[in-house]
Amino acid sequence: MESPPQYPQDLPQDAAPQAPREPLLTLPGPLTAYVLLLAVIHLRVLLPPELENWTVDVFGFIPKRYDSTLLAINFPGGAGAKVWTFVTYSLLHANLSHIGFNVLWLLPFGSALARRFGAIRFFLFMAVTAAAGALAHLVTHEHAVAPMIGASASVSGTMAAAMRFAFVKGSFLSFSRGDADAAARVPALSLMRALRNPRVLAFLVIWFGVNIIFGIGSIAIGSDGASVAWQAHIGGFLAGLVLFSLFDPVPRSAADAADASSSDASHSG
Residue 15: what pLDDT? 45
How is the chain split into domains, by residue range? Answer: 26-268
CB-CB contact of 112 with 172 (8 Å) = yes
Q: Give pTM, 2 decimals.
A: 0.79
Q: 26-268: which CATH architecture?
A: Up-down Bundle (1.20)
Q: Residue 148 carries which DSSP code?
A: B
Residue 71: what pLDDT? 64
Residue 15: enclosing H or E segment and its boundaries?
A: none
Other CB atoms within a 10 A radius of the CB of residue 2 amount to 4
Residue 176: what pLDDT? 58
One-letter-per-residue 3-state SS of 158-206: HHHHHCCCCCCCECCCCCCECCHHHHHCCCCCCHHHHCCCHHHHHHHHH
* Coil/strand/helix, residue 144: coil
Going residue by residue through the chain, which has 269 residues, state the pLDDT in tens, using 9 for 90 and above.
Answer: 455 544 444 444 444 444 445 444 578 999 999 999 999 999 999 999 999 999 999 999 999 998 877 566 788 888 899 999 999 999 999 899 889 989 998 998 999 999 999 999 999 999 999 999 999 999 998 888 889 999 999 999 999 999 999 888 878 776 555 567 777 888 898 999 999 999 999 999 999 888 877 666 444 344 344 556 788 999 999 999 999 999 999 887 645 444 444 444 444 33
Contacts of 193 (CB under 8 A, 6+ apart): 254, 257, 258, 261
